[in-house]
Amino acid sequence: MTNATLKHSLGQLKKQGIRITPQREVILDYLITHHNHPDVETIRDGIEDKLPNLSVATIYNTLRMLVDNGLVIELPNNDGGIRYDYFGVPHYHAICENCGKIIDIFDDDYPELVKHVQQTTRDKTDFLVTGTQLEVTGICPDCQRKLHLAKLSNK
């Protein structure tokens, strides 16, 4: 599946006239195969064995191109940085307000939900909608347990 996903995504880029370089292919492959919503440093560390001399600037430029072409989305995190997520399969995110963990939520109703949100936005504001990212925020199960344990120990 992953190889087919990579080939499909590279084909989309080629159709848009974008040259496929080894660097672009490795970075895209990393994002497709790693669902950890990495930042640039994590991506660099994860591909260092394949491209040891790759500059951080090249990674940033590649990510910008992938975002601009709709294959990757940017996810701001708690510390002001940005994480990246392959978005070839549309989904939304549950984000922990405590630890910053991001969980992908795949839902068959997602396309209809996005259409509804976009249409409602257009109808109520005349806003020209150019994209939609849905996020649900809250406290993840791990943090809920930790917070509960902390409350118990303070009693």
Segment 55-71, tens digit of pLDDT: 999 999 999 999 999 99
Nearest 5 degrees, angle CA 53-CA 59-CA 60?
140
Q: pLDDT band for position 155 (50/70/90)?
A: low
Q: pLDDT band for position 51 (50/70/90)?
A: very high
Whether this prediction's pTM lies above 0.85 is answered by no
Last residue of a domain, one of 68, 88, 108: 88
96 is in an annotated binding site: yes
Note down the domain range covering 42.
1-88
The domain spanning residue 43 has which CATH number? 1.10.10.10
Are 3 and 63 members of one domain? yes
The domain spanning residue 96 has which CATH number? 3.30.1490.190
Report the candidate in 32, 134, 143, 139 with the shortest Cα–Cα distance to residue 93.
134
46 is in an annotated binding site: no
Residue 1 has pLDDT above 60, yes or no: no
Tell which wins on pLDDT, 53 or 78. 53
Last residue of a domain, one of 88, 106, 126: 88
Q: How far apart are the first and last CA of the chain?
A: 51
Nearest 5 degrees, angle CA 48-CA 7-CA 25?
25
25 is in an annotated binding site: no
Are 142 and 71 members of one domain? no
The average confidence (pLDDT) of the chain is 92
- Report the DSSP beta bridge partners of residue 136: 94
What's the domain count of the chain? 2
Are 135 and 73 members of one domain? no
63 is in an annotated binding site: no
Are 11 and 23 members of one domain? yes
Segment 86-144, tens digit of pLDDT: 988 889 999 999 998 899 999 999 999 999 999 999 999 999 998 888 999 999 999 99
Q: What is the mean pLDDT of residues 8-25?
A: 96
Per-residue tokens: 147 = 């917070």
Last residue of a domain, one of 44, 64, 88: 88
Are 31 and 63 members of one domain? yes
Q: What is the mean pLDDT of residues 28-54?
A: 96
